[in-house]
Structure 1
Amino acid sequence: MLAATILHSLSAVCVLLIVIGFGVFLARKGWFDAPSHRGIVSKLVNAALPCFLFYSVISKFSHGELYNLLKFAGLPFLTVGLNFLISVLFIKLGWVRPHMKGTFITAFTGATVLFVGVPLVQTMYGSNGIPYLLVYFFANCVFIWTVGIFNIQLDGARRGMTEEPKIFSVHGLKMLLSPPLMGFLIGLIVVLLSIPVPKFISQSTHTIGQLATPLALVFVGITVWQIGFEKLRKLPREVWLILLSCYVIRPITMYLCTMPLDMDPLMRKCFILASALPVSSVIAVLSKAYGGDEEFASEAIGASTVAMIFVLPFLLIAVNLVN
């Protein structure tokens, strides 16, 4: 059993690394030298994701199964909240420089659930695991566009670059309702209300959605090549704490919170895997827009993305050993 689990995990790692390596190869060949080239891949993934998420929900869950899933919908919010408190603790201990406190809090907890999580879960568990990933995605998305953006704006206010922020803003709420999240929510409504979906719509969303997984992995490969492995040589203490969060604190927190609960083992695995992902790239964009420490945010995103290549075999083996 143990040997089979390890072999399955390593096989999945090989698939992921080969497709990521393909992205690295294309970037090395100069196909994506201009920033706009990388942006095109990102836009294609973002365009395909709403279709992918919509089809994943309507095709994998019945009305009753969806109600069972929603019983555990609060769990990711709990673990996201605990990770937030741990990041505040590190700040109280004096381990984070004052000018980057808000950016640190957001990067410590906010993960790139879709761009990396979707390919990981799809490769490991097939499309059956995607709806579980989406529950964590929702909690993660709410955190980034409320608590996250608020704390980044606090950094800007401390540095005299922006005004004192509000915890809820019109812009934040608009961005919260992003196309991927809307695809997920529309799928939920269709299943909960038992609305029939015409075959041509389900097949179209399925076909378009199939672009998301390979393109997302190619995008990761392009990102890794452009960042380079040199990023891991001289990192500030705060970035090492972010790496500790991504690949140790977040997954262990999720594991401890799920173990007392009687839940589907696949749901538990997907929740743990969703929590152990690199820093969300949107945090660098928010830092630039609202006066946060953009350089630190970029370092955290780059280092956590590159580090994932080394952590991935151990992470997938560990998650698959969870019952």
Structure 2
Amino acid sequence: MLAAYLNILVVFAIILLAYLLTKKKWFDNQTANTFSKLVLNITLPLNMFLNMTQKFTRAEFLELFQGILLPFTSIIVTFIISFIYAKLTKVPITRQGSFQVMFTAANTIFMGLPVNMAVFGEKAIPYALLYYICNTSFFFTIGLVLIANDNPEKRLRTNVFSFKKLLKQLLSPALLGFIIGILWLLTGVGVPKPLFDFSTYVGGMTTALSLFVIGIIIYQTGFKNLKMDKDVFGVLLGRYVISPLVVYLLSFIIPVPPLMLKVFILQSAMPVQNALPIFARSYGADEKFATSSLTYSIISYVLFILIMLNLFF
């Protein structure tokens, strides 16, 4: 429990550092744009590649893949609920995509993996990464298209479906890194040391740079402008109530081993993806809404994790 809390405090500390450095004029809007480009196009793809090739063996991946039905189904069900919820609560069209993605997709690697390791130990890693595969596949395919569609200018320009544009959105550098990692893993060939070292050094910057961007955005937005409105509340409801509840209920239909279920529940109830404000900025979506949702999800997680551990563990 203490280790899990310390992991969360580290996340806060990095965001606070970026906030303070922005206040001291070390960072500015241009810095945030530069860091965003680095994360989206270089460090995150290498991080995806590294996670897939180093966290699994080929045999483990193929064996674990049998348990993928529960997280895959839960994400689809949660996504459908997010769509219905957005319509019923009249989420503005300029933030519907981001809302559905934040409601559905969890921060399964930067927050989920260290928290699961703190709670369950090393034996949780394969199960945590199994949920991560489903979560990441959703985020970098359907998720990115939805976020891009929040851009009002894009909506005005896009009257005809374009397969070329859709393919460009789907094949983001991060998703390509993820796919290449899976294909490399399946070959059973080890990653050459120079490539491994390069990916480790560069990909290892992903978490810090992502959190730096969030700290910069929070400072530029201003705490007084971080709004807790009905849509942000809806995101928190999706993250911390609907998503884990869906996993728990589906486990009666799709049974899995007890530890696997606990890891899936904990993974499903993580804060909003760190990179979401970066993608919102990149695609011209509602960046302030994404930042508010992410910030409140991290703050509320400190309390929520206590409730979660007492309820299920």
State the TM-score, normalized to the length of structure 1: 0.76
1:119 aligns with 2:114: no
Distance change >3 Å, CA 76–CA 210, structure 1 → 2: same
Q: Which residue of the other structure, out of 309, 313, 317, is the alignment partner of 2:302?
A: 313
1:240 aligns with 2:220: no
Count of aligned residue pairs for this structure pair: 299
Tell me, in whole angstroms, the C-alpha distance in 2 between the residues paired with 1:79 and 1:154: 30
The CA RMSD measured in Å over matched residues stands at 3.4
Which whole-Å deviations, capped at 9, do the CAs of 1:123-162 have from their partners, x for residues lacking one? 324694456424311122222245x2696589976xxx24
- Aligned pairs for 1:1-323 (under 5 A) are 5=1, 7-33=2-28, 35-46=29-40, 47-91=42-86, 93=88, 95-96=89-90, 100-101=92-93, 103-110=95-102, 117-125=108-116, 128=125, 129-130=128-129, 132-146=131-145, 148=146, 152=150, 161-166=156-161, 169-233=163-227, 235=229, 237-258=230-251, 260-263=254-257, 265=259, 268-269=262-263, 272-273=266-267, 276-278=270-272, 280-281=276-277, 282-283=279-280, 285-286=282-283, 288=284, 294=285, 297-318=286-307, 322=312
Q: For 2:109, what is the secondary structure of its paired residue?
A: helix
Distance change >3 Å, CA 58–CA 319, structure 1 → 2: farther
Tell me, in whole angstroms, the C-alpha distance in 1 between the residues paired with 2:153 and 2:75: 21
Deviation at 1:65, TM superposition (A): 0.8
Distance change >3 Å, CA 153–CA 181, structure 1 → 2: same
In the alignment, is the contact (CA less than 8 A) between 1:132 and 1:271 conserved in 2? Answer: no
Tell me, in whole angstroms, the C-alpha distance in 2 between the residues paired with 1:122 and 1:88: 27
State the TM-score, normalized to the length of structure 2: 0.78
Distance change >3 Å, CA 59–CA 271, structure 1 → 2: farther
In the alignment, is the contact (CA less than 8 A) between 1:80 and 1:109 conserved in 2? Answer: no
In the alignment, is the contact (CA less than 8 A) between 2:53 and 2:181 conserved in 1? Answer: yes
Calculate percent identity across the aligned residue pairs.
22
Tell me, in whole angstroms, the C-alpha distance in 1 between the residues paired with 2:163 and 2:180: 23
The AA in structure 1 aligned to 2:178 is F
Tell me, in whole angstroms, the C-alpha distance in 2 between the residues paired with 1:112 and 1:45: 22
Unaligned runs of 5+ in 2: none
